[in-house]
């Protein structure tokens, strides 16, 4: 049996290897719905890539059992990508039985593929296999599946894009959530490019019959698909907290009176206990201290104080630093020492936040206030 391995096969193999590594190392240890859907997404990627390997390695031609092997899975990747996207996007996602309807088209095509496969399984002659397959309209059904696959890619891209627009209206409350949103934007953009490439290949294949002369267009598509798979796999290993953990859920609207009440309690507890001095104070920790949900606390800060959690806490820190800089008894303290004491975790973040809030550097602020005091 003559099996030739090309550069494309090597690229695809690397993508497969990386995906398997991601499933084993970076995903299966997590037990949440995001991790399970991500694992399923990688699995479907692997199946689609295996499907093309049947052709590039000539297994489709050389091994009778692989001829018409039932891999009608062109319509499973799109809904799985969308469900994974929803699970990580922070919209209180939970998988329900009705969401299995997303996979109904793929199931119907798979049933047809199984019928064809078992009908030709005992036949070794390829021409006879093709004749039997055509009795079940194999090529016509495959062409319909190709077109529906393209349509499905764009439909699910649009649904993801709509969700992204909702997310854009919600400001991130933590660095990890901001990184997760960037991750979502990146993979949705890559998903759109994949959709365009598939549409391009299907048109070349079905309208211009390019597949009868060259495999180049599909080679480009599957190289990109392998790159996409490699990227999301390696990201899941390097940054599992970004890829397989959900964004903090978006809160439902809170009653106005309750917003005012919680807002007052936030101000009171932060000022009395000087919680902002804790560099590791998270929105989850503050919410627990106040006995409210993280999403409710986020909603109150966003709507009542017109701020994000991070900016809200930093505002207290900056005001405390300014008071210290103006305190004549604290002049012997270094600016960095004051910043760290007031809850900033690093010099770089302190100087960046101070200048964005005050308009000048801490040193310039201290000098300006000293000149004003001497002039007065």
Q: Note whether 361 and 355 are within 8 A (CB).
A: yes
Exposure on the CB side of residue 313, measured as CA atoms within 13 A: 24
Residues 222 and 272 both lie in one domain = no
Q: Burial, 109: exposed, middle or buried (Cβ in 10 Å; 0-12, 13-18, 19+)? A: buried
Residues 194 and 265: beta-carbon distance below 8 Å: no
Q: Indicate whether 2 belongs to any domain.
A: no
Residue that terminates a domain, selected from 243, 270, 290: 243
Per-residue pLDDT of 52-75, as tens digits, reads 888 778 888 888 888 999 999 999
Nearest to 237, CA basis, from 37, 31, 39: 39
Scanning the structure block, which residue is given the tokens 């998270």? 282
Residue 30 is predicted with a pLDDT of: 59
Of 243, 273, 302, which residue is a domain's last?
243
Give residue-wise pLDDT tens across range 209-239. Answer: 887 788 888 889 988 998 898 899 888 877 7
Q: For residue 250, give the nearest of 311, 312, 293 by alpha carbon.
A: 293
How far is 9 from 16, CA to CA, in rounded Å? 10
Domain that holds residue 184: 7-243
Q: What is the DSSP letter of 334?
A: -
Are 235 and 311 contained in the same domain?
no
Same-domain pairing of 41 and 78: yes
Query: Measuring CA to CA, which residue among 3, 36, 30 is closest to residue 240?
Result: 30
What percent of the chain clears pLDDT 70, i.e. is strictly above it?
90
CA 337, CA 151: separation in Å to the nearest integer?
Answer: 59
Task: Choose one of 243, 269, 294: the last residue of a domain.
Answer: 243
| The token pair that represents 96 in the structure block | 């329900």
Residues 216 and 271 in one domain: no
Q: Are residues 83 and 104 in the same domain?
A: yes
* pLDDT category of residue 172 using cuts at 50, 70 and 90: very low
pTM for the model stands at 0.69
Calculate the alpha carbon distances from 188 to 27, 92, 122, 147, 323 in Å. 20, 20, 43, 21, 46
pLDDT band at 9 (very low <50, low <70, confident <90, very high): confident
Indicate whether 169 pLDDT > 60.
Answer: no
19 in Cβ contact with 228 (< 8 Å): no
Taking the mean position of all CA atoms in its chain, how far away is CA 90? 11
pLDDT for 174 beyond 50: no
pLDDT, mean over the chain: 85
DSSP 22: I
- For residues 237 and 276, membership in a common domain is answered with no
233 is a domain residue: yes
Phi, psi torsion values for 93, nearest 5 degrees: -75, 140
Same domain, 232 and 275: no
φ and ψ of 215, to 5 deg: -110, 10
Contact 107, 148 (CB under 8 A): no
| CA 235 remoteness from chain centre | 10
Give the tens place of pLDDT for each residue, 271-299.
Answer: 999 999 998 888 888 988 999 888 788 88
142, 215: one domain? yes
Please answer whether residues 251 and 299 qualify as being in contact, where contact means their C-beta atoms are separated by less than 8 angstroms: yes
d(CA 19, CA 39): 9
Residue 104 lies in a domain: yes
The two tokens of residue 248 are 């903090």
> Both 147 and 216 in a single domain?
yes
**Of 189, 13, 3, 169, the residue nearest 85 (C-alpha):** 189
Do residues 120 and 236 both lie within one domain?
yes
Task: Let me know if residue 249 belongs to a domain.
Answer: no
- Assess if residue 341 is contained within a domain: yes
- Write out pLDDT tens, residues 325-376: 888 777 788 999 999 999 998 888 899 899 988 999 998 998 888 787 777 5
Is 81 within the bounds of a domain?
yes
Same domain, 75 and 219: yes
Number of domains in the chain: 2
Mark whether 195 and 265 lie in a shared domain.
no
Task: Tell me: pLDDT of 42 over 70.
Answer: yes
Q: Residue 367 to residues 229, 274, 372: CA-CA distances in angstroms?
A: 55, 27, 9
CATH number of the domain at 366, please: 1.10.10.60
pLDDT of 43 higher than 60: yes
Of 42, 85, 49, the C-alpha closest to 185 is 85
* pLDDT reported for residue 25: 66
């Amino acid at each position: 049996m003559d099996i030739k391995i090309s550069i494309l096969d090597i690229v695809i193999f690397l993508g497969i290897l990386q995906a398997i590594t991601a499933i084993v190392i970076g995903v299966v240890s997590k037990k949440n719905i995001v991790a399970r859907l991500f694992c399923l997404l990688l699995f479907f990627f692997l199946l689609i890539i295996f499907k093309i390997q049947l052709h590039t390695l000539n297994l489709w031609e050389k091994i009778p059992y692989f001829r018409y092997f039932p891999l009608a899975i062109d319509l499973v990747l799109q809904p799985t990508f969308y469900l994974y996207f929803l699970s990580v996007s922070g919209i209180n996602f939970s998988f329900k039985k009705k969401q299995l309807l997303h996979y109904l088209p793929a199931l119907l095509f798979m049933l047809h593929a199984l019928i064809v496969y078992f009908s030709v399984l005992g036949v070794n002659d390829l021409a006879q296999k093709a004749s039997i397959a055509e009795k079940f309209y194999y090529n016509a059904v495959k062409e319909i599946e190709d077109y529906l696959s393209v349509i499905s890619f764009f439909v699910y891209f649009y649904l993801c894009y709509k969700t992204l627009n909702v997310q854009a209206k919600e400001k991130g409350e933590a660095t990890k959530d901001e990184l997760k949103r960037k991750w979502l934007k990146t993979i949705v953009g890559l998903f759109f490019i994949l959709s365009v490439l598939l549409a391009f290949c299907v048109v070349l294949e079905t309208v211009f019959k390019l597949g009868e002369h060259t495999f180049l267009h599909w080679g480009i598509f599957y190289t990109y698909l392998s790159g996409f798979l490699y990227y999301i796999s390696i990201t899941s290993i390097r940054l599992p907290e970004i890829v397989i953990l959900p964004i903090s859920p978006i809160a439902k609207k809170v009653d106005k009176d309750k917003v005012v009440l919680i807002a007052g309690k936030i101000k009171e507890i932060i000022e009395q206990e000087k919680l902002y001095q804790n560099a590791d104070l998270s929105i989850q920790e503050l919410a627990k201290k106040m006995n409210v949900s993280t999403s409710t606390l986020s909603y109150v800060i966003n709507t009542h104080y017109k701020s994000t959690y991070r900016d809200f806490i930093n505002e207290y820190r900056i005001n405390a630093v300014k008071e210290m800089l103006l305190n004549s008894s604290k002049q012997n303290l270094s600016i960095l020492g004051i910043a760290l004491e007031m809850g900033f975790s690093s010099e770089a973040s302190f100087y960046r936040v101070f200048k964005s809030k005050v308009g000048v550097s801490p040193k310039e602020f201290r000098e300006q206030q000293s000149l004003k005091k001497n002039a007065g």
